[in-house]
Amino acid sequence: MGETQTESQKASRVQVRLPDTLMRQVELRTGPHGLYADSSDYIRDLIRKDLQSEPGFDDHLAIIWQHLLPGSLADESEFVPTSREEAKANGRAFATEQLADKNA
């Protein structure tokens, strides 16, 4: 029985040409003696760090934690069954509300 991938697990490929000097740096940082398992791992980390450097990233992260923490500490009896569609709609409505508050 095969497992299906969720959207977050699906991966796409990208091919990058690097000058020899940059490729040597990638090779130094990857493999058995590097910080990263392989060049893909290294590139993913660089992209994550780039995204984190965007203005407002910490604000967005704080808002997410502010809303996730109570749920993570709640008793299981407090959870309400919700369909995937309802959860997505609630998330969109919340994001829209947050943007409206920020722009007000």
40-57 per-position pLDDT tens digit:
999 999 998 888 888 877
What one-letter code names the amino acid at 74?
Answer: A
Chain position carrying tokens 């969720």: 6
Kindly state the average pLDDT of the residues 3-12: 65
Neighbouring C-beta atoms of residue 45, cutoff 10 Å: 13
Distance CA 104, CA 98 (A): 10
Distance CA 95, CA 101 (A): 10
14-41 per-position pLDDT tens digit:
999 999 999 999 999 999 989 999 999 9
* Amino acid 69: pLDDT: 85
Distance CA 10, CA 16 (A): 20
